Chains A and B, each alone.
With several copies, the nearest count.
Chain A
Amino acid sequence: MHNHDHQLDEMYRDIILDHYRSPRGRKDVADPTVVNEGMNPSCGDEIEMKVRLKGDTVEELGVHCAGCAISVASGSMLSEIAEGRTISELKVIAAAVKGMLTTGEVPEEIELDELSDIEVLEGVRQFPVRIKCALLAWVTLVEGLERYEKGGSGENASTTEDANPTVIV
């Protein structure tokens, strides 16, 4: 038996480790309406998300996250509650998750404990450097949805590149 550290276990709750070991929503989505890639520059970890909308509602969502346990678990949890919800519902939930992880304040109308396992992410709040991990999937989703709403293709515009020096590697 390990003698686990209390604070550490507050972050790495069993549910989180379970999502990490067996991430849900790791599937491909046919005919996606929204495709977005996210990245945490400070660690280099990446996430890819595909969403097929039917009207305002998420019909199917797939997520592939190559990151730490927190980011993988968070993406996995997101995938569990996304399907069947509307864009605006999801934006409200994303804001609530952000509130829970940063200020600790969650809008009253949101009952995170009714949202699958999401509430267990709260333990991350005590580890400020890791908050970005828990937010990665949510930021990537909202960014993709908002681009779609603004009439964009929903596809991530590749970053523009200006003249760089010739390089021999």
Chain B
Amino acid sequence: MQEAVNQQQVLDSAEIRKDFPILERSVQGKPLVYLDNAATTQKPRSVIDAEAEYYLKHNANVHRGIHTLAEEATEAYECTRDRIASWIGGVAREEVIFTRGTTEAINLVAHSWGGANIGKGDRIVLTQMEHHANLVPWIQLAKKNGAELAYLPIDGEGRLDLSSMDSIITPNTKLVAITQMSNVLGTINPAAEVAARAHSVGAVVLADGAQSAPHMPVDVKVLGVDFFAFSGHKMLGPTGVGALWGRRELLEAMEPWQTGGEMILLVKWDRATWAELPHKFEAGTPNIAGVAAWSKAFDYLDRFGMDAVRSHEVEWTRYTMNRLLGLGFVNIFGPKDVEERGSAISFEVEGVHPHDLAQFLDSRGVAVRAGHHCAQPLTKLLGQTSTTRASGYLYNTTAESDRLAEALLEAKKYFG
């Protein structure tokens, strides 16, 4: 078959791939093509080594320890906090709270801030493209406290339709929670514009950065949001780590959510007072090794800069979308213009069910995801029960997109 000409790549993916040992693996007898990056990304050797190094040389419980290992462990752990604080736009380190991931970060806000600040008749505004992590906690809160939910709609290309924003973000709106980049449609949302409107009615704004932080430069101050949540494992970091950034005044006014060791100031038989930020929100022994190793993921991304990572992905996405559309039987959801979207490409293949397709692609070594991608209401809105999603990262090449396209052609014949 006719090979498409490889487009100029912004990053030298061939070089980059050498840092990711798993990419040399074969699956089902074929070299792995890993296109499930929106679910979780692979890890460079530096991250894997850092986690081992922590256990080989410095492991101890953090904070309060007076011995050398405890000091080293605390330093490694707290160092990542500094890294994040500067990485998301130069915020104060005390405003960065470690969590297991985006989900726990949003749950923290929903339980602690939401529980106290959202009451009967108040409105919570979301978008129609939220991941369950930024949807179910708010449904539960609305149910518990008697609030109402409203959704900013999407247009036919899966972009946020802001024409009705002013009537949806009403004066009784207390919170607007919005994903900065959709994990299904790839859409990059005008979070700053939404935040401005939300603030004009006095609402607090949370941005779900699970998909944006890994793939584009993020500055929470420029975005103008109040809370920002993201996960380490989707940006070359270890599983089991994530972070919540929040504005100091909000965090300081909030009651802690999880309680226990390390987050208290004084405990008596009948009462407790809380430690300063950020410890107030970090109860118990954290994922120390994971947090320590996460900093190497930032180092790795900083080698190129997030502008370059973004440019690389724009080109990769453009190439991949063209390649899939060129097959003639693939329908892509989400924005057509690559400048308006990230590298998560969800699609349908006429006559082939997404789960059969994913199974077939796996037999060709190509890892994609099939399902509702934790966004059931959106999937239904698209008229689907599930879709197939290929999602790229800085190590993905256009040659891999060709492998995907060829396998799709085969699948079409196999099931058609």
Contact = CB atoms under 8 A, between A and B. Distances in A.
Does a CB–CB distance below 8 Å link A and B in the complex?
yes
A166 interface: yes
B28 A5 contact: yes
B25 interface: no
Contact of B270 (A12, A66, A167): A167
Contacts of A130: 355, 359
B222 interface: no
B270 A164 contact: yes
A11 B362 CA distance: 13
Contacts of A164: 143, 270-271
Interface string A25-51: 000000000000000011111100000
A168 B168 contact: yes
Interface in B270-286: 270-271, 275
Contact of A167 (B150, B265, B266): B150
B82 interface: no
A45 B385 contact: yes
Interface string A17-30: 10010000000000
Contact of A68 (B139, B266, B353, B379): B353
Which bracket fits the contact residues of B? 35 or more
B128 interface: yes
B363 interface: yes
A131 B270 CA distance: 31
A133 B355 contact: yes
Q: Which of A45, A46, A66: most chain B CB closer than 10 A?
A: A45
Contact of B149 (A5, A42, A68, A168): A168
B5 interface: no
Which bracket fits the contact residues of A? 20 to 34
A5 B363 contact: yes
Contacts of B168: 168
A17 B271 CA distance: 37
A32 to B, nearest CB: 24
Contacts of A68: 353-356
B266 A41 contact: yes
A145 B393 CA distance: 50
Contacts of A45: 353, 385-386
Interface in B370-388: 370-372, 376, 379-380, 385-386
Interface string A149-169: 000000000000101111111
Contacts of A67: 353
Chain B at the A interface: SS class: mixed
Contacts of B148: 165-168
Interface string B130-163: 0000000001001100111111010000000000
B386 A167 contact: no
Interface string B382-416: 00011000000000000000000000001001110
B71 A129 contact: yes
Contact of B413 (A2, A11, A167, A168): A2
A169 B139 CA distance: 13
Contacts of B56: none
Nearest to B370: A43
Nearest to A44: B385
B360 interface: yes
Interface in B346-364: 353-356, 359-360, 363-364
B184 to A, nearest CB: 14
B265 A20 contact: no
B64 interface: yes
A132 B2 CA distance: 39
Contacts of B355: 43, 68, 130, 133
A41 B64 CA distance: 11
Given A165-B143, A168-B148, A168-B151, A44 B376 contact: yes
Given A67-B353, A130-B355, A169-B153, A161 B71 contact: no
Contacts of B265: 41
Contacts of A163: 143
A2 B139 contact: no
Interface of A: 2, 4-5, 7-8, 11-12, 17, 20, 41-46, 66-70, 127-130, 133, 161, 163-169
22 contacts: A2-B410, A2-B413, A2-B414, A8-B359, A8-B363, A11-B359, A12-B356, A17-B414, A17-B415, A41-B275, A42-B64, A43-B355, A68-B353, A68-B355, A69-B353, A69-B415, A165-B143, A165-B146, A165-B149, A167-B148, A167-B269, A168-B149
Given A5-B28, A43-B371, A167-B149, 19 more contacts: A2-B413, A5-B29, A8-B359, A8-B363, A11-B359, A43-B355, A43-B385, A46-B385, A68-B356, A69-B356, A129-B71, A163-B143, A164-B143, A165-B148, A166-B148, A167-B150, A169-B128, A169-B153, A169-B269
